Amino acid sequence: MVGGFAVALAVAGCAGSGSGNDTGGQTSAPSGPRTLTVWLMNGSAPTVLTDGLHKEFQDSHKDVTVKYEIQQWNGIQDKLTTALASNDAPDVIEIGNTQAPKFASENVLEDLTANVGDFNGANWLSALKESGSWDGKQYAIPFYAANREVLYRKDLFEQAGITAPPTSREEWLAAIGKLKTKFGSDPDFQALYLPGQNWYTLLSFIWDEGGDIAKKDGTKFTATLDSPEAKAALDFYKKLVEESGTKAPKDADEQTPEQAGIYGGGKVAMFIGLPWEVGTAAKSDPSIKDKTSAFPIPSKTAGKTAPVFQGGSNLAIPANSKDKDLARDYLKLIASDKYQGEFAKVGMIPGTSKDVSALEADPINAAMAKASANGRAVPATPGWATIEAGQNPIKDLLTAFLTGAKPVDQATKDANETLNKAFSG
């Protein structure tokens, strides 16, 4: 879903604004049967969304058939690279938000800047809007997103005398202290499970301190992980690790081992994750679902939520599409509140709608929705895809700092150098 893949677009200059039937967003089209080929990713759009959308689209477009093809994330970058360079490209594609800048910079996506208003642009998630832009132009539109939150055991909080979820870092640390006082005699208990390489969580702390991964100058990015703000974020991360007594490895991320499975073991009071990880935990203990709730990652400023990394997907029109007029109509329909609302019903953040009322009915989804208003993105640069696909220097930074292998100045300097090499291509 998040699109952490390397995108190696080897063919430049294959975008041709004159290719295909392009009416600049108008619904008029040549007569005769046509096919609109749509590639969406496995596990993305709910069936109720696509079934209704495709019926409505075909009903309103005479002699048009939607050829809907579900793609797998594994290997999608290579498949798209080939398709975007061919004369038989699909007409609408879904791409991970961290992939989007690479595709956009290679001139293989249609420029949608003039159509933003047609696609519900006033309601776009800012993080996904940024990821779909390049050099001042918009090449992809938001589709859907999700962000992390603190998932916790209501029963353990109650037994520890915690009457309300934390709304500041100070309260969060106090809750950890109460949990350790109540359950600390159990050597297997963890107030917070926090792997050493959960870099998405570190990003929240960096942004909350007022820092960032990098500074932007035009289309150029320069890493800033050695800033005082980033170092303060690292210090707080380390404080959480030490005060929580987490047994999570310092040299692995939340998938190694899968943190939801650890939480499902019943000895963990909190972890930082995505809403659907509760379902994974419930495979070990079905009762844990009813025992779990969530709160946004707290800010250092009382009453505020920390910014969160917003992962998700974008939609784009390949420059070689032969039916760009139909593709624009399709994007206009799928970006409407009617269909974006289906994402909220299944626990996702709509990309082009601010209506999250369907999320607010469930406490776990409601916490994600509240935090989503403060969503942020990684640097919108083509180089980011290689960072996530390779050895992520932010993960290395965390492990080096938490284990004491490197002092903070050296660890952040090394991470900056690696990021800057990726940013420069």
Alpha carbons 29 and 46: distance in angstroms, whole number: 29
- E strands in 168-290: 214-217, 220-223, 270-273
Task: Say what the pLDDT of residue 32 is.
Answer: 77
How far is C-alpha 411 from the chain's CA centre? 26
Run of H or E residues at 34: strand 34-41
Alpha carbons 147 and 47: distance in angstroms, whole number: 22
Task: Say what the pLDDT of residue 17 is.
Answer: 28
Task: Say what the pLDDT of residue 27 is.
Answer: 41
**Would you say 364 and 278 are in contact if contact means Cβ atoms under 8 Å apart?**
yes
Task: Say what the pLDDT of residue 389 is.
Answer: 76
Instruction: Count CB-CB contacts under 10 A for residue 409.
Output: 10
Alpha carbons 361 and 217: distance in angstroms, whole number: 42
Task: Say what the pLDDT of residue 98 is.
Answer: 87
CA atoms within 13 A on the CB side of 405: 12
**391-408 exposure pattern, b = at least 16 Cβ within 10 A, e = fewer:** ebbbbbbbbbbbeeebeb
Task: Say what the pLDDT of residue 390 is.
Answer: 80
Alpha carbons 3 and 374: distance in angstroms, whole number: 20
Task: Say what the pLDDT of residue 99 is.
Answer: 87
Task: Say what the pLDDT of residue 421 is.
Answer: 95
Supply the pTM of this predicted model. Answer: 0.90
Alpha carbons 134 and 112: distance in angstroms, whole number: 11
Task: Say what the pLDDT of residue 225 is.
Answer: 98
Residue by residue, pLDDT tens for the chain (425 residues) are 333 322 221 222 222 223 344 444 444 446 679 999 999 999 999 999 999 999 999 999 999 999 999 999 999 989 999 999 999 999 999 999 988 998 999 999 999 999 999 999 999 999 999 999 999 999 999 999 999 999 999 999 999 999 999 999 999 999 999 999 999 999 999 999 999 999 999 999 999 999 999 999 999 999 999 999 999 999 999 999 999 999 999 999 999 999 999 999 999 999 999 999 999 999 999 999 999 999 999 999 999 999 999 999 999 999 999 999 999 999 999 999 999 999 999 999 999 999 999 999 999 999 999 999 999 999 999 999 888 778 899 999 999 999 999 999 999 999 999 999 999 97
Task: Say what the pLDDT of residue 31 is.
Answer: 64
